[in-house]
């Protein structure tokens, strides 16, 4: 399992294979590549063998399909190309994105400058539908498969039209004798790209593949895609938490064109320091930092969270998998191997977050030991990253908020107009709708926590506070 809690065993059970099928300019559809079973194991009748004369088992039922039928079935009709293909047969789900080569498209101009022998092609992923329905596989695996098929396919098409790359690779695959060793004279880049793509989807990692050795394609992990329009605005008082504590591992996943600001933020991000703090510390403009953080979130390399402070309140997430035997116990043991205090077992740690209280109170309970506090914060960061705890925030409700603005001002003015802090209170009432938490109000109004709560405490008969996620 990764630090995000992705269960790789379930991904392995869900992802079954990747195939490359194509339609030549003349002739019937053909299957050129299939992984993980090598092409040498395909019998003349199209069935697959496990090398010992037996069948490959239920998870590889796809291989019982005749080879010709398999290719014909996965090569979409020309009218259905350039769109997602998602077909289910029994317990198998086939996901791809068939593409036409431009010279085969009746709506495009014949601009072919390189002779090629392929009319259309498709990179197809086969997944176990039963595992998806049982929720044992990644929820967004089908989306990840269709996106991977599309971006890989577009890169393949580009290289085919530029230099005949795809036709050359298919010819090499036909020989059945090729190598993934780039130094080899019979090196097959296409088979390596497809193999690495398949393994990346199974392991839930972002990966980069290089089509024809130079054209970089970044592949997302099988999580819900994060679109900029759907993302909550990033605030200066927030921070970014890398998805893995091994920063060098994440740096290796950055695209070649990643800016220096993005790389710096990935290295310097600290869950105890806000973007405002980092702006001063690393001398990068705040707006630039926020843009870099958004980029890392879109690349699934970081998550936005509230900056850890003594006022924060965390509790165990209601969706946390804390059952005995959960893989999280093993993951936590690996994480906490260097922790000195043995009180930090996962059950003991979660017990401390069973009831809401501020981190200040947690720190006090540790007796002021700097070492224990540091270990506690490290464990908390792990819990946040995994999603085992959630943060509770304080929201303020004004009992008169259902009134119109004029009516509300009139009622409040009649009752409190003579008070010295009334104008400060009235200015803040627009935030007392239960939709703005304390930190957000402080940032919007540039006020301190003490100033805000002084106002809140002064009007208890019309204001109520509510703590929730």
The tens digit of pLDDT for each residue in 332-366 reads 877 776 555 556 778 888 888 989 999 999 988 88
In this structure, the answer to whether residues 338 and 358 fall within a common structural domain is yes
Residue 271 binned pLDDT confidence (cut-offs 50, 70, 90): very high
The tens digit of pLDDT for each residue in 384-396 reads 988 889 999 999 9
pLDDT of residue 54 exceeding 50, the answer is: no
Q: Residue 268: which of 278, 259, 257, 276 has the closest Cα?
A: 278
Integer CA distances (angstroms), 284 to 261, 265, 292, 294, in order: 8, 9, 11, 15
pLDDT in the model for residue 106: 44
pLDDT mean over 113-132: 77
Domain end residue (candidates: 334, 367, 387): 387
pLDDT mean over 216-240: 70
In this structure, the answer to whether residues 321 and 407 fall within a common structural domain is no
In this structure, the answer to whether residues 277 and 247 fall within a common structural domain is yes
Q: What is the DSSP letter of 424?
A: H
Q: Quick check: is 2 in a domain? A: no
Q: Quick check: is 176 in a domain? A: yes
pLDDT in the model for residue 112: 45
pLDDT in the model for residue 46: 36
The span from the CA of 332 to the CA of 338, in Å, is 11
In this structure, the answer to whether residues 32 and 164 fall within a common structural domain is yes
Counting residues of the chain whose pLDDT is more than 70, the rounded percentage is 77
In this structure, the answer to whether residues 206 and 246 fall within a common structural domain is no
Q: Is 92 helix (H, G, I), strand (E, B) or coil?
A: strand
The strand pairing partners of 21, in sequence order, are 31, 122
pLDDT in the model for residue 273: 94
Q: Quick check: is 231 in a domain? A: no
- Which of 33-47, 66-80, 407-421 bottoms out in mean pLDDT, i.e. has the lowest? 33-47
Angle at 462 between CA 459 and CA 464, to 5 degrees: 90
The tens digit of pLDDT for each residue in 86-108 reads 888 878 889 999 998 876 444 44
The tens digit of pLDDT for each residue in 123-170 reads 999 888 765 544 444 446 787 888 889 989 999 999 988 888 998 899
Q: Which residue has the higher pLDDT, 214 or 272?
A: 272
Q: Residue 125: which of 157, 158, 147 has the closest Cα?
A: 147
In this structure, the answer to whether residues 161 and 50 fall within a common structural domain is yes
- Which of 94-108, 205-219, 435-449 bottoms out in mean pLDDT, i.e. has the lowest? 94-108
Integer CA distances (angstroms), 101 to 106, 191, 271, 413, in order: 11, 20, 48, 72
In this structure, the answer to whether residues 294 and 197 fall within a common structural domain is no
pLDDT in the model for residue 56: 37
In this structure, the answer to whether residues 170 and 285 fall within a common structural domain is no
Q: Quick check: is 284 in a domain? A: yes
The span from the CA of 145 to the CA of 142, in Å, is 5
Q: What is the DSSP string of 171-235?
A: HHHHHT--BS-TTSTTB-HHHHHHHHHHHHHHHT--EEEEETTTEEEEE--SS----TTTSPPPP
Burial label for 136, CB within 10 Å (0-12, 13-18, 19+), is: middle
pLDDT of residue 304 exceeding 50, the answer is: yes
Q: Quick check: is 227 in a domain? A: no
In this structure, the answer to whether residues 383 and 399 fall within a common structural domain is no
The span from the CA of 459 to the CA of 439, in Å, is 19
Q: What is the mean pLDDT of the chain?
A: 79
Domain end residue (candidates: 259, 284, 306): 306
Cis status, amide bond into 36, omega within 30 of 0? yes
pLDDT in the model for residue 257: 72
- Phi and psi (nearest 5°) for 78? -55, -35
What the block records as the tokens of 95 is: 């996901």
Domain end residue (candidates: 306, 334, 355): 306
Q: Quick check: is 133 in a domain? A: yes
pLDDT mean over 245-252: 86
What the block records as the tokens of 378 is: 């490290």
Q: Quick check: is 233 in a domain? A: no
Domain range for residue 259?
238-306
Q: Which residue has the higher pLDDT, 1 or 409?
A: 409
The answer to whether 241 touches 292, Cβ cutoff 8 Å, is no
- Phi and psi (nearest 5°) for 429? -60, -25
pLDDT mean over 256-267: 87
pLDDT in the model for residue 295: 85
In this structure, the answer to whether residues 146 and 176 fall within a common structural domain is yes
The span from the CA of 94 to the CA of 363, in Å, is 53
Q: Which residue has the higher pLDDT, 51 or 381?
A: 381
Long-range contacts of 66-72 (CB under 8 A, 24+ apart): 67/31, 67/42, 68/28, 70/19, 70/21, 70/31, 70/46, 71/21, 71/28, 71/29, 71/30, 71/31, 72/28, 72/29
pLDDT in the model for residue 128: 80
pLDDT in the model for residue 235: 92
Which helix (H) or strand (E) covers residue 31, if one does? strand 30-35
Total structural domains within the chain: 4
- Which of 34-38, 188-192, 408-412 bottoms out in mean pLDDT, i.e. has the lowest? 34-38
pLDDT in the model for residue 403: 78
Q: Residue 15: which of 55, 57, 60 has the closest Cα?
A: 60
In this structure, the answer to whether residues 65 and 95 fall within a common structural domain is yes
Q: Which residue has the higher pLDDT, 460 or 321?
A: 460
In this structure, the answer to whether residues 26 and 74 fall within a common structural domain is yes
Q: Quick check: is 462 in a domain? A: yes
The strand pairing partners of 302, in sequence order, are 242
pLDDT in the model for residue 134: 47
The answer to whether 144 touches 201, Cβ cutoff 8 Å, is yes
The answer to whether 138 touches 128, Cβ cutoff 8 Å, is no
């Amino acid at each position: 399992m990764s630090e995000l809690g992705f269960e790789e065993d379930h991904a392995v059970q869900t992802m079954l294979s990747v195939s490359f099928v194509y339609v030549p300019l003349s002739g019937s559809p053909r299957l050129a590549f299939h992984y993980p079973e090598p092409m040498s194991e395909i019998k003349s009748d199209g069935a697959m063998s496990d090398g010992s004369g037996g069948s490959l088992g239920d998870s590889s039922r796809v291989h019982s399909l005749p080879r010709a039928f398999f290719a014909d079935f996965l090569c979409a009709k020309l009218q259905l190309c350039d769109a997602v293909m998602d077909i289910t047969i029994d317990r198998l789900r086939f996901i791809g994105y068939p593409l036409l080569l431009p010279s085969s498209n009746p709506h495009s101009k014949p601009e072919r400058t390189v002779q090629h022998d392929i009319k259309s092609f498709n990179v197809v992923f086969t997944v176990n539908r039963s595992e998806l329905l049982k929720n044992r596989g990644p929820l967004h695996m089908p989306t990840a498969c269709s996106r991977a098929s599309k971006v890989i396919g577009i890169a393949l098409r580009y290289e085919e039209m530029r230099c005949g790359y795809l036709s050359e690779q298919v010819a090499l695959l036909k020989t059945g004798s090729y190598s993934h060793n780039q130094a080899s004279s019979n090196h097959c880049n296409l088979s390596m790209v497809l193999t690495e793509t398949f393994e990346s989807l199974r392991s839930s990692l972002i990966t980069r593949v290089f089509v024809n050795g130079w054209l970089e394609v970044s592949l997302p992990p099988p999580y819900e895609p994060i679109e900029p329009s759907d993302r909550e605005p990033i605030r200066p008082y927030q921070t970014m938490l890398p998805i893995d504590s091994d920063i060098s591992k994440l740096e290796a996943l950055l695209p070649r064109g990643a800016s220096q600001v993005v790389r710096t933020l990935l290295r310097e991000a600290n869950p105890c320091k806000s973007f405002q703090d980092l702006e001063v510390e690393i001398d990068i403009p705040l707006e630039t930092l926020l843009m870099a953080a958004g980029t890392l979130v879109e690349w699934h390399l970081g998550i936005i969270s509230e900056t850890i402070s003594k006022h924060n309140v965390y509790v165990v997430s209601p969706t946390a998998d804390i059952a005995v035997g959960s893989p999280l116990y093993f993951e936590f043991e690996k994480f906490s191997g260097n922790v000195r205090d043995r009180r930090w077992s996962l059950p003991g740690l979660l017990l401390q977050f069973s009831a809401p209280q501020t981190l200040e109170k947690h720190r006090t309970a540790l007796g002021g030991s700097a070492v224990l506090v540091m270990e506690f914060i490290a464990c908390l960061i792990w819990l946040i990253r995994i999603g085992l705890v959630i943060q509770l925030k304080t929201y303020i409700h004004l009992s008169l908020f259902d009134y119109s603005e004029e009516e509300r001002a009139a009622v409040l003015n009649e009752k409190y107009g003579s008070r010295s802090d009334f104008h400060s209170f009235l200015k803040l009432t627009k935030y007392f709708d239960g939709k703005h938490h304390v930190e957000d109000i402080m940032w919007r109004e540039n006020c301190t926590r003490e100033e805000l709560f002084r106002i809140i405490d002064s009007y208890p008969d019309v204001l109520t506070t509510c703590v929730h996620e």
